[in-house]
Amino acid sequence: MALYILLASLFSALVTAAVIIRYQHLHGHLSMDHDLDGVQKFHAQPTPRVGGVPIIVGLVSALLVWQASSPSTAEAWWLLCAAMPVFMAGLIEDLTKRVSPLVRLLAAFVSAALAAFMLGALLDRLGLPVVDGWLGQLLVLQVVITVFAVGGVCHSVNIIDGYNGLMAGVGVLACAAFAYVSFQLDDQFLFVVAMSLAGALLGFMFWNFPRGLIFAGDAGAYLVGFLLAELAVLLVARHPDAVSPWFPMLVLIYPIFETVFTILRRKQRKEAAGLPDSMHFHQLVYKRLVRWVAGSDSQEYLLKRNSMTSPYLWLIAMMTIIPAVIFWRHQWVLQACCVLFIATYVWLYKRIVRFRAPRWLHLYKH
């Protein structure tokens, strides 16, 4: 059944994206990303940015297949309902370009609150002794921390959605980790959600990487971020004696720390936290590591450089996801890996920004 669910999600997303791309001349005045000059823009031609639509179609298709063979699908449908505020806020932004980041973040908070109410998706521990004592006694604190954490992950996934295949690839890897642990815990609900999201992302990714024929947009990025965050929260909430909060933290630490580091970096430089810039880690990889492989500014080479960036970041994500899966039962190892990743990230960032990246990271023309 797991294979059928994965294939249903993948095929539905793939076909829906194909239809959107094929008929973009009918909806392009609304759906196209025409901004080719922004500091965070690295595509060469206007492209549909409504990839959230095929992703959610894939999810719905997978749940319908699951429902045909299992009566216990209510939780999955409730989770999808909870995702609607943040998905719709993102989709409206994709179509109108008039929804501010603050409104989208508030929509993510609303979705997190709905999931907490409908599914009991609340963090009652963080793997920190003193904080866990407070969380265990104060429901309000659980709600605040959970809503803030889910909203933060939504925003962080949107931040890394900068190059063809980057967000989708990282999302698939995270889904695989969550699916594996859910399977080990015999949690069918979370296993199906993780597999469905992985399939939808793969179907979307077929058109997004390497050719960049469709972008996830805010609807796609925020939807994926919300579902990954909820998988993390629900794994911890539903299996208090088996899953440490540091397991999902390690799985998602790349986008999370990217956001934290960006906030600290902008604060140090006295820049507004909400303004876009071109100094994210993935943008440095593009400009300092792969840009010189193809020196022309033609559309062909812009696309090539764009797509060559994502595998670097997939490897960065795998640096944390692989040990998370191996040591998911050992909290102290998970904590040590989080610290090691942060140290490695900061070291690499400083080396790359100073044009002193390790030689083994460079790609050269032949």
- What would the pLDDT profile of 333-352 be if each residue is shown by its tens digit? 999 999 999 999 999 999 99
* CA dist list (Å): 270 to 200, 266, 273, 274: 39, 6, 9, 12
Taking only Cα atoms into account, the Rg of the chain, rounded to an integer number of angstroms, comes to: 20
pTM of the model: 0.92
Residue-range domain boundaries for the chain:
2-361
Give the β-pairing of 47-48 and 32-33: antiparallel
The angle that helices 139-159 and 253-268 make with each other, rounded to 10 degrees, is 80
> What sign results for the dihedral spanned by CA atoms 217, 220, 226, 231?
negative
Residue 87: what pLDDT?
A: 98
pLDDT bin (cut points 50, 70, 90) of residue 39 is very low
Number of neighbouring beta carbons within 10 Å of residue 250: 28
Q: Which two tokens stand for residue 245?
A: 């909060």
The mean predicted confidence, pLDDT, of the chain is 89
Percentage of the chain lying above the pLDDT 90 cut? 68
SS (H, E, C) 82-126: HCHHHHHHHHHHHHHCCCCHHHHHHHHHHHHHHHHHHHCCCCCCC
Work out the average pLDDT over 354-358: 83
Q: Which two tokens stand for residue 316?
A: 């960065």
Quote the CA–CA distance of 24 and 213 in Å, as a whole number.
Answer: 10
Phi first, then psi, for residue 254 (nearest 5°) are -60, -60
pLDDT bin (cut points 50, 70, 90) of residue 291 is low
Residue 266: what pLDDT?
A: 83
* CA dist list (Å): 198 to 14, 35, 58, 153, 204: 12, 29, 10, 17, 10
Q: Which residue has the tokens 């309000």?
A: 140
Residue 273: what pLDDT?
A: 61
Question: Which one is predicted more confidently, 192 or 129?
Answer: 192
Phi first, then psi, for residue 122 (nearest 5°) are -130, 140
Residue 249, pLDDT above cutoff 60? yes
Consecutive H or E run containing 189: helix 188-208
Highest mean pLDDT among 67-81, 114-128, 269-283: 114-128
Residue 366: what pLDDT?
A: 43
Q: Which residue has the tokens 């429901």?
A: 139
Highest mean pLDDT among 124-138, 258-272, 294-308: 124-138
